[in-house]
Chains A and B, each alone.
Chain A
Amino acid sequence: MESIVDREDGLNLKATELRLGLPGREESEKETMASFKNNKRASPESAVADGSKGDFDAGDGDRETAPVAKAQVVGWPPIRSYRKNNFQPKKAEGEAGMYVKVSMDGAPYLRKIDLKVYQCYPELLKALENMFKLTIGVYSEREGYKGSEYAPTYEDKDGDWMLVGDVPWEMFMSSCKRLRIMKGSEARGLGCGV
């Protein structure tokens, strides 16, 4: 919070300060850093609304340190997500979504998701977590999804089963045929380094 000194003469210079970036940015960056320990990241809307895709490099930890101007606080403003999603750029006529089936070990039903809705791995993982009510955790190149008993995998064009996150996002988008959330020791086996 702004110190009392800033406001002693009632001017609150800090709040009316002209600068680039969002007001209270330092606060929000601290918050976003603190909150996003695992795979929670700045709300996807920030990236989409900007219309730019600066954030979508290959799966590495830097994903979470979004450029300043795009850093947004989770859950702010208080609008339910389905309201926000409605005004994302509509798919052009004729442009189909990219639906892939998602199965989870132990679940009776298959699900389908549209990969085009997501811009990067954390968004996809978050959506999977919400869909199946589980925690997948953070991806690391060496250890896969350590700390979770689930691992998201996908079947690629060659028919091989790969760990989600191993390849750059664009490559994943173009090669992913279906997803499978593995559970238990099979998941750990896949996540192990070499």
Chain B
Amino acid sequence: MSHDPAEMSEDDERPPPADRGRAEYADQVLENVLENVLVFLTCRRDRNSVSLVCKSWCRAEALTRSELFIGNCYAVSPARATERFERVRSVALKGKPRFADFSLLPPDWGAHFAPWASAMAGAYPGLEKVYLKRMSVTDEDLAVLARSFPRFKELALVCCEGFGTSGLAVVANHCRQLRVLDLIESEVTDDEVDWISFFPDGGTSLESLIFDCVECPINFDALERLVARSSSLKKLRLNRYISIGQLYRLMIRAPQLTHLGTGSFSPSEIVQQGDQEPDYASAFAACRSLVCLSGFREIIPDYLPAIYPVCANLTSLNFSYANINAAQLRSVISRCHKLQILWVLDSICDEGLQAVAATCKDLRELRVFPIDAMENNEGPVSDVGFLAIAEGCRKLQSILYFCQQMTNAAVVAMSNNCPDLMVFRLCIIPRYRADRITGEPMDEGFGAIVKNCKKLTRLAVSGLLTDRAFSYFGQYGKLVQTLSVAFNGDSDMGLKYVLEGCSSLQKLEIRDSPFGDSALLSGLHHYYNMRFLWMSSCRVTRRGCREIARQMPGLVVEVFSWNNNAQDRGEENDIVETLYMYRSLARRVDAPKYVEIL
């Protein structure tokens, strides 16, 4: 790791010419020592701090950084990133803003992986791991990955789209050292390519194969042979085209699994009474290391007892596709004393949540998804189940809860009972809904959360909220990094409170709230500290956005609407449909026509 002395001429602390030889030698030793120390530094915040000390520390840090994390793919150009960090083995890239998940981002907006793939192909021949979230990835990009990196080992595509089974086939076939192929919540086009068959013959190094989001049939025989020859396989998550009978055959070949996604969890044909069915429970019992269970995509609840043997050891259970009732849930959950993570559907009702609260004393994360996403007067879960959880699961750190009705009292109770809460996301589905019992806004409940939960870093709000709620967020939410607002607030003051008070704010996403230019301009002091700000269907005008862009050249200010005419830009006083702005060292060169960069 020694330096070319010519490089060190950039160093500010150059000694006078007479001593240059000795000083350069000393510098070289220092840098070597530094590099040998920095190699052990893994936390990227620490690394960022190190790089700010001085130029030589910056260089040393850059040379020893092997894991590159880029939270916004448009914050820096691929060229600049690969120039600064020369020896990277692992890259994580995030692209589209989160509201893209809810159809709020027009198609073809960007976050293309292609320019990154080609830059890395040249710069990082030793690349081993790629993690992409909300990126647009094509089959050709996957081919570039497969061809360019002989030591490639791990690929994780989360919430990505643009590729298909043909791209997967190329990765399976060419990446001979592949350990991890994780496709999570991604959209995979069915090109009718049998990608599972493309894994090479002979033993594989596969440790994790996750494809539960792939919506096309799988060649089961090929999969069974693949599992049989992958002795290191620990994580296997099947898609819904795998029947329970097929699951059985896979499980008996892989009793070493720690993470299992069960596929459909129903038989492929109608099973008549008296049919011989395999002993599913014994297959589960044989998986003594199983700690994480998911799947159940088309569950027939009669088969639930099969999983009883593993419940005692489960730390993570994902029933969020399982339309089961309270009693069916209870039969399982009452055995899951070690459970830390639970995802469920609201089909389990308040009663089911009470069963969870009674048993899962170690619960850290709970997510309750709605079966019916319509706005209704009543729903299967409410403040009743919420309160039960608050009282039973005192170690809760993260909650995502969808419901039709809520009370301030229940939310306040959780704020008092669960001091470890870091992530609080409550979605009262009917917009502008007040406290079910008092008819008041939900200000006090959400206010109590920010006030009492001292570790809170992520907050998503809903229901009827006045500016008062936002004053609480600004006053008490000093550690809040991510805030999501939708159909809340009364006036510009709401947003002002947040921008002036939430000093740790990094990601702010707002939709359909009455915040305008005056509020927008009150955040100038803080925008460079943030990753991004998203405001859609609010009251900011083109004039306001342009003023931000004028005063803050280090921000990219994107303004767009669903109207595709580039000629039809609109007046300065027009309200913009969407504002998306982020700090950046680069200008976007690939913006579609409907995006205007101010």
Contact = CB atoms under 8 A, between A and B. Distances in A.
A176 to B, nearest CB: 19
A11 to B, nearest CB: 7
B130 interface: no
A175 B468 CA distance: 58
Nearest to A50: B374
B512 A27 contact: yes
Interface string B420-445: 00000001011111100001110000
A92 to B, nearest CB: 12
Most chain A CB neighbours (cut-off 10 Å) among B213, B374, B402: B374
Given A31-B512, A76-B102, A82 B213 contact: yes
Contacts of A27: 431, 487, 512
B434 A77 contact: no
Given A31-B512, A75-B102, A81-B103, A12 B464 contact: yes
Given A38-B564, A109-B166, A77 B537 contact: no
Interface in A122-168: 129-131, 133-135, 137, 147
A171 interface: no
B263 interface: no
**Chain B interface extent, by class:** 35 or more
Contact of B430 (A22, A50, A81, A129): A22
B79 interface: no
Contact of A147 (B371, B372, B511, B564): B564
A45 interface: yes
Contact of A77 (B104, B270, B373, B466): B373
Given A12-B441, A35-B577, A83-B320, A72 B191 contact: no
B506 to A, nearest CB: 19
A34 B441 CA distance: 28
A78 B514 contact: no
Interface string A178-191: 00000000000000
A45 B373 contact: yes
B69 interface: no
B122 interface: no
Contacts of A80: 101-102, 185
A49 B372 contact: yes
B374 to A, nearest CB: 5
A37 interface: yes
A37 B372 contact: no
A79 to B, nearest CB: 6
Nearest to A16: B439
B103 A43 contact: yes
Contact of B563 (A4, A24, A37): A37
A83 B320 CA distance: 9
Contact of A79 (B373, B375, B464, B489): B373
A119 interface: no
B107 interface: yes
A116 interface: no
Given A22-B430, A83-B320, A72 B374 contact: yes
A23 interface: yes
B370 interface: yes
Contacts of A73: 431, 512
B427 A78 contact: yes
A14 B375 CA distance: 17
A131 B102 CA distance: 17
Contacts of B270: 93
B573 to A, nearest CB: 16
Nearest to B100: A75
B189 interface: yes
A40 B213 CA distance: 25
Nearest to A30: B537
Contact of A75 (B99, B370, B440, B514): B99
B500 interface: no
Contacts of B489: 1
Contacts of A84: 373
A86 interface: yes
Nearest to B101: A80
The B interface is mostly helix, strand or loop, or mixed, namely: loop
Contacts of B190: 111-112
Contacts of B372: 49, 87
A109 B164 CA distance: 10
B562 interface: yes
B537 A31 contact: yes
B220 interface: no
Most chain B CB neighbours (cut-off 10 Å) among A1, A43, A111: A1
A100 interface: no
B323 interface: yes
B125 interface: no
Nearest to A109: B191
Contacts of B580: none
Nearest to B189: A111
A46 interface: yes
A28 B431 contact: yes
Contacts of B104: 74-75
B464 A86 contact: no
Interface string B364-376: 0000011111110
B324 interface: no
A89 interface: no
B297 interface: yes
B433 A87 contact: no
Contacts of A76: 102, 431, 486-487
Interface in B187-202: 187, 189-192
A109 B430 CA distance: 42
Given A27-B512, A80-B185, A112-B190, A74 B373 contact: no
Contact of B431 (A24, A81, A147): A24
Given A1-B514, A87-B371, A134-B108, A74 B191 contact: no
Contact of B490 (A1, A49, A137): A1
Given A1-B514, A109-B164, A82 B185 contact: yes
A72 B537 CA distance: 15
B185 A79 contact: no
A160 to B, nearest CB: 27
Given A73-B431, A78-B484, A109-B166, 12 more contacts: A1-B490, A15-B439, A35-B562, A49-B373, A75-B511, A76-B486, A82-B187, A86-B297, A133-B108, A135-B107, A135-B108, A147-B564
Interface of B: 99, 101-104, 107-108, 162, 164, 166, 185, 187, 189-192, 213, 270, 297-298, 320-321, 323, 369-375, 402, 427, 429-434, 439-441, 460, 464, 466, 484, 486-487, 489-490, 511-512, 514, 537, 562-565, 577
Question: Considering the complex of A and B, which 9 residue pairs feature the smallest CB-CB distances, nearest first?
Answer: A75-B102, A16-B439, A77-B429, A24-B432, A75-B104, A24-B431, A1-B514, A15-B434, A75-B103
Interface of A: 1-2, 4, 7, 10-12, 15-16, 22-24, 27-28, 31, 34-35, 37-38, 40, 43, 45-46, 49-50, 72-84, 86-87, 90, 93, 109, 111-112, 129-131, 133-135, 137, 147
15 contacts: A4-B490, A22-B430, A22-B431, A31-B537, A37-B563, A38-B564, A76-B487, A78-B460, A82-B187, A87-B323, A109-B164, A111-B191, A129-B107, A133-B108, A137-B564
